[in-house]
Chains A and B, each alone.
Chain A
Amino acid sequence: MTEISRRAAMSGAAAIMAAPRFASAQANARLLRFIPQSNLASIDPVWSTAVIVRNHGLMVYDLLYGLGADYQVRPQMAEGHVITDDGLTWTITLRPGLRFHDGEPVRGRDCVASIRRWSKRDVLGQRLDALADEIVAPDDRTIRIRLKRPWPGLAWALGKPSANICAIMPERVAQTDPFTQITDATGSGPFRFRQDLFRPGDVAVYERFADYRPREERVDFLAGGKRVNFDRVEWKIMPDPATAGAALQNNEADWWETPLPDLLPLLRRNREIEIGVVNPAGNLGVLRFNFLHPPFNDPAVRRALLPAINQRDFMNAAIGTDPALSVVPAGVFTPGTPLANDAGLEVLSGPRNLEAARAALRATGYTNQRVTLLSATDLPVLQNLSEVAADLLRRVGFNVDFPGMDWGTHIQRRTNRNGVEQGGWSAFCTTWEGLDVSVPGSHQPLRGHGSAAWAGWPTMPRLEELREEWFTAPDAAAARRIAEEIQRVALQEVPFIPLGLVRPPQAWRRSITDVVRGGSALFWGVRRA
């Protein structure tokens, strides 16, 4: 009988105990643990405008077109398209072999139903809704859109990366009322959403969709081949930034989407952690005015502020003094994108002059009306921008009321069109996704269609005309000329004041590599080193 020594027994026991750890390590190699910017509450990227829901949508759903890192749109699900000579009819052909997560093929009528639902909610979709004479699927691989007027930017609209995205869903799902949430998360994107494991406020689990057929091209933001290198991606919701930072340092998470600027020095000291700007288009800081009530119903009062605005002050408060994390000067279009220009920008980029602003305000006959500046104390970037704005307004000579409130109260109060005495407001600071405000079509702060416009409700017919001209601009040069004119007019009308471009960094462990740059966190291309 073979004797088993005590040492051998102990070695065996150790091996048995270690076995699950090895298995766990192998499993972890194919698992990406991600801390998103906020809680994923909804799973419908057409119903919700939340950025986190859009990010979820980009994993689960594919788009007909996708934006490259150069901000040019390219076919994604589409193989290509043909436009008739009059520019009125688009015939889009789908790539062969596209499948939904339930195994069904993606057909033209799925895309038509998806486009129709999206067209009721999104700002560019609504334009398509108004312009379209017909959206049909002549066969399983073809979509035909007939327009009343030419719209060269239709592909951009269908592939727009910002909320609401034109997510392609199965026809049965896309027939859901646009103002009602979908309950079925079947998409055709590179990841399958595990609805059975979804715990809102805690975890969202995505698994690689084995039947996804990426384009035979290199990874290029939302265009190109979406090749997935992880079997599973887990979004772990951590509302507390200190906890999220500790989890990243302790190797309990691989990637944190929105590290608090205050924690960046701490994270930088950790050799295992890399910090980088994934989204160069960032978020444009905006000081928005209420056009309905004094004092900001007077364009001279709005203009009076311009000489005193120091975008660098706003950016330092919002994201810190690291120049890589913000861009100034910023005009009305996202710096670094094709339509960004410096037409009329000297009012913001020239020497700052507080005295000139005070004199300009006195010249308007401002009678010390109360200015209510809304803030959101639970959103640090917005709160910091608001603090700087409140201080500046006071120094210029405004009678400032600066009530603190949470985001839920702030966003409700913003819908109040009454004067400040009746619970209304005068101004607020916010940020817009850089990709949204990179073109006039989706640039809500530039809209000037009165009561239907974004909060502030400006009426600016000239800006509306220019927006329409941009939609039909024949080429990039023409589009740029229009953008320059829009900026000149905007800096005269001042529906908002751009405060600079915030470029929030992301943090990930060095064991993660090839993070895709261009916009939000994407989960194709990225892999474990």
Chain B
Amino acid sequence: MWAYIVRRVLATIPVMAVVALFVFSLLYLAPGDPAAVIAGDQATPDDVERIRASLGLDRPYLVRFGAWVWDILHGDLGTSIFTNLPVSHMIAQRIEPTLSLMVVTLILAVSIAVPMGVVAAWKQGTSIDRAVMAFAVLGFSVPVFVVGYLLAFVFALELDWLPVQGYTPFREGFIPWMENLILPAVALGGVYIALIARITRATMLEVLSQDYIRTARAKGAGQRSILFLHALKNAAVPIVTIIGIGIALLIGGAVVTESVFAIPGLGRLTVDAILRRDYPVIQGVVLLFSFVYVLVNLLIDLLYTLFDPRIRY
């Protein structure tokens, strides 16, 4: 097991190298120029050229890529072209809101979606099943920002229960922290709940038709015991897989959700950096997201052994 973990962690190195090369090349080829953005609407071409030279953007591709990789190998993600702050510092400032949003969304989604999927499978063909599936279709179909605006309108503007926007750090108290996260987490969690609920239902239906479930019933096991002890545990591997894959959905959704609810997280940092062509920040954030995603996949692989002892590494 440990050897497997070490092998997988080491395998992230070439993955990250490919991501680094891909991100750098893509930004190099993409239209836009941070020097022109810095110089502003009123600048002359000479102004832009001077700024480009001062930022080192006039250097050849390979020189810039080499310098960037060298810095990364020394633990330096670079400095933002615009804010003049280290990228690692900017990421550190933004990581807590995003992490909070994702964790709350994850907990909310899993705790709602899995029971929903289980119940839908148990009550297959009934109005409960159809209601769950209708919710799942709705969750997939309605964009996050629309859900966000609707929630803000109802629960903040009309009912005045929750704030419209912003983020309160956890250290300032659980309740204020949570107040700022409920609406974004519900908005972001919609699609995630739909995804997990559908997969849970489909997997549970398959498991519930197995012989050992019939045997359990014949032995007189209770419905709850059948559903949660016998069926759900055996359905867990695909569910855990989809939860892991869904992390990518969450990362993508966080970009929109953070903009709608003015949460100062990594999603907004990424959007701002892309719009301004702040290359070091974009590269740093994308590398971080890639690394997180690789780690999540590793974690999911390890969880398989927990749910299915037949799996060995």
Contacts and interface: CB of A to CB of B under 8 A. Distances in A.
Interface string B140-169: 000000000100110011001001111000
Interface in A424-477: 430, 432, 436, 444, 451-455, 457
B165 A247 contact: yes
A247 B271 CA distance: 21
Contact of A415 (B48, B163, B261, B276): B48
Contacts of A42: 38, 82-84
B145 to A, nearest CB: 8
Nearest to B43: A49
A415 B36 contact: yes
B125 interface: no
B88 to A, nearest CB: 14
B157 to A, nearest CB: 6
A252 B40 contact: no
Contact of B164 (A163, A243, A414): A243
Contact of B275 (A181, A243, A244, A378): A378
Contact of B40 (A48, A239, A417, A452): A48
A183 B84 contact: yes
Most buried by A among B34, B38, B160, B261: B38
Interface stretch (A216-224, A320-328, A341-349, A400-408): A400-408
B38 A48 contact: yes
Nearest to B97: A202
Contacts of A406: 32, 275
A49 B40 contact: yes
A414 B268 CA distance: 27
A49 B41 contact: yes
Contacts of A451: 45
A179 B54 CA distance: 7
A414 B36 contact: yes
A199 interface: yes
Contacts of A252: 163-166
Interface in B212-263: 259-262
A192 B31 CA distance: 38
Nearest to A249: B157
Chief secondary structure at chain B's binding surface: helix
A388 to B, nearest CB: 19
Contacts of A452: 44, 46
A180 interface: yes
A246 interface: yes
B42 A408 contact: no
Contact of B260 (A48, A240, A415): A240
Nearest to B48: A415
Interface string A190-220: 0000000001111100000000000000000
A363 interface: no
A412 interface: yes
Given A42-B84, A252-B165, A408-B37, A246 B157 contact: yes
A488 interface: no
Contacts, number: 140
B54 A180 contact: yes
A405 B37 CA distance: 14
A206 B38 CA distance: 23
B39 A239 contact: no
Interface residues of A, number: 53
A19 interface: no
B311 interface: no
Contact of A41 (B39, B42, B82): B82
B272 interface: yes
A117 interface: no
Contact of A430 (B41, B51, B85, B260): B41
A199 B153 contact: no
A411 interface: yes
Contact of B277 (A244, A249, A408): A408
A463 to B, nearest CB: 16
A408 B164 contact: no
B301 interface: no
A200 B83 contact: yes
Given A203-B264, A243-B152, A412 B42 contact: no
A265 to B, nearest CB: 16
Contacts of B275: 378, 406-408
Contacts of B41: 49, 411, 430, 432
B157 A413 contact: no
B55 to A, nearest CB: 9
A238 interface: yes
Contacts of A444: 42
A380 B83 CA distance: 25
A39 interface: yes
A143 interface: no
A454 B42 contact: yes
A408 B48 CA distance: 13
A76 to B, nearest CB: 24
A242 interface: yes
B90 interface: yes
B111 interface: no
B78 to A, nearest CB: 15
A201 B269 contact: yes
A503 interface: no
B93 interface: yes
Interface in B160-206: 160, 163-166
Interface string B17-43: 000000000000001111011111111
Contacts of B130: none
Most buried by B among A177, A183, A406: A406
B123 to A, nearest CB: 39
B59 interface: no
Interface string A126-169: 00000000000000000000000000000000000001000000
A236 B262 CA distance: 9
B50 interface: yes
A250 interface: yes
Given A183-B84, A243-B260, A408-B276, A413 B31 contact: yes
Contact of B262 (A48, A199, A243): A243
Contacts of B272: 39, 41, 200-201, 239
Interface string A284-304: 000000000000000000000
Nearest to B84: A181
A180 B81 CA distance: 10
A205 B126 CA distance: 56
B36 A411 contact: yes
B139 to A, nearest CB: 22
13 contacts: A47-B38, A181-B84, A200-B272, A236-B166, A237-B262, A240-B260, A246-B153, A246-B157, A247-B164, A252-B165, A408-B34, A414-B36, A415-B33
Interface of A: 39, 41-42, 47-50, 163, 177, 179-181, 183, 199-203, 236-240, 242-244, 246-247, 249-250, 252, 378, 405-409, 411-415, 417, 430, 432, 436, 444, 451-455, 457
Given A201-B269, A250-B164, 9 more contacts: A47-B38, A199-B93, A200-B85, A200-B90, A240-B262, A243-B260, A247-B262, A407-B275, A444-B42
Interface of B: 31-34, 36-46, 48, 50-51, 54, 80, 82-85, 90, 93-94, 149, 152-153, 156-157, 160, 163-166, 259-262, 264, 268-269, 271-272, 275-277
